[in-house]
Amino acid sequence: MENQQYSKRNLGIMWFANFFISACMTMVLPFLSLYIESFGQYSPEFVQHWSGLCFSVTFVAAFLFSPIWGKIGDKFGRKTILIILAIGLGISIFLMSFANSVWEVFILRFFTGFFTGFIPMSQAFISTQTPKKVAGKVLGTLQTGSITGALIGPLLGGVLADSFGYGATFRFTSLAIFISAILVFTTKEFVLPVQKGTKSSYTSKEVLAHILKNPVFITVLLISAFIQIAHFSIQPILSLYVSDLHGPENIAFFAGLAFSAAGLGNLLMARKWGEMGDRSGHLKVLVILLFIAGIIYFPGGFVNQYWQLLIIRFILGVAIGGMVPVRIAYIRQEVPIAMQGEVMGYETSLRFLGNIIGPALGGIIAGNFGFSMVFFSTSFLLLASGIFLFAMMHRHPKLSKQSIS
């Protein structure tokens, strides 16, 4: 009973911590290129080039270091690592307010990526305190915190930058991140009891062996990257697509609305999909979500009205909103508690790899074949992922039994 009370209390605290972290991480995105432009008289090509590099280097660093943070969290406790990540992230963003060159921004964005593991680590922190039968519901609830932050962050960042300037916005952002560290400090770390004889620690070799012996599990991890590739392939062309459909008037507002439509659908259904996964099986729900997203992406290439794009983006958000909690709940089922941090670190790395590949791939496809082909190729990738996972589940029914029972 005491553990259950602490679990609910910790969930509430981590919801707000994730909200602040997610809002702060997205707060700077609307004006990152403008901040670089403010350093001197640069050509548009120079600004676009360095904006892309500064944006991508964060994901590259996160891709490299997420498994390391996960392993350290398994060994020394996730609460301690969460506080370290929040403080490191806050310092990196605070120092960015004093940057005077694109090189300084680039280096600090790398360190931002180095400490960008807070939200996945918080998922592991809550997961190890949550019974398997409600893991999807609880993790779906936790995810709504980061979704809400991601919805509010870009809007708030734009308002602060316009009102107080870029430097002050970075300092406000770092302050909010330090608040997240304080919130984590008030939690109590514990893990649910494990079966007698279960190991309390694992080497990286043992963790990899556990993953590699389960082809269904490997498929789910790889699909994490494919989902991000599909989702992020649209990002670099969405504003241009909106401009084609709606015209250049108030393009920033209408492009932002198109982005937010997916976030709203995500927010509304993340918890519900998690609950359905708890009842019907997380893999089964993941297959359904992949098919829904794949089917709804396809007509995106045919829209000729802005409102049609909004509807498609909203439905996409509804589907994508369930993919993270059901995957993390599946990991909670399949992986011993003592190695969950490292395994989720690998899953997070693959997600960040998708974040790197997706925008570049989407830009290349759009540049060579047009906007519509980005939607068609994304649809194919998601449908192929759903078909492959479905086939793997039926090829290895014993390995899938726990999640489809």
Q: DSSP of 324-368, one letter per residue?
A: HHHHHHHHHHHS-GGGHHHHHHHHHHHHHHHHHHHHHHHHHHHHH
Residue 392's pLDDT is what? 92
The two three-digit tokens of residue 70, written as one number:
């996960």
Pick the closest to residue 343 from 60, 176, 124 (CA basis). 124
Q: What is the pTM of this model?
A: 0.78
Output b/e per residue, 324-355; b: 16+ Cβ within 10 A: bbbbbbbbbbbbbbbbbbbbbbbbbbbbbbbb
Residue 31's pLDDT is what? 66
Residue 289's pLDDT is what? 93
Residue located via tokens 């999807």: 136
For the CA atoms of 253, 256, 258, 260, the dihedral, rounded to the nearest 10 degrees, stands at: -130
Residue 194's pLDDT is what? 57
Distance CA 26, CA 38 (A): 20
Residues 6+ apart with CB under 8 A from 19: 145, 146, 148, 149
Q: What string of pLDDT tens digits covers the 405 residues of the chain?
A: 445 555 788 888 999 999 999 888 877 766 677 788 888 777 877 776 787 788 778 888 888 888 888 888 877 888 999 999 999 999 999 999 898 888 998 999 999 889 888 888 888 888 878 877 787 788 888 888 887 887 777 777 777 777 888 888 889 889 989 999 999 999 888 766 655 556 667 787 888 888 888 899 999 999 999 998 888 887 666 766 777 777 767 665 676 677 777 778 888 888 888 888 888 888 999 999 999 999 988 988 888 888 888 888 888 888 887 888 888 888 878 888 778 778 888 888 888 888 888 877 887 887 788 878 888 999 999 999 999 999 999 988 877 765 433
Residue 403's pLDDT is what? 42
Residue 291's pLDDT is what? 95
Residue 385's pLDDT is what? 94
Residue 2's pLDDT is what? 45
The radius of gyration of the chain from alpha carbons, rounded to an integer in Å, stands at 21
Residue located via tokens 């963003």: 93
Dihedral (CA of 321, 323, 329, 331) sign: negative
Distance CA 274, CA 284 (A): 12
Distance CA 48, CA 33 (A): 7
Residue 239's pLDDT is what? 66
Distance CA 208, CA 48 (A): 39
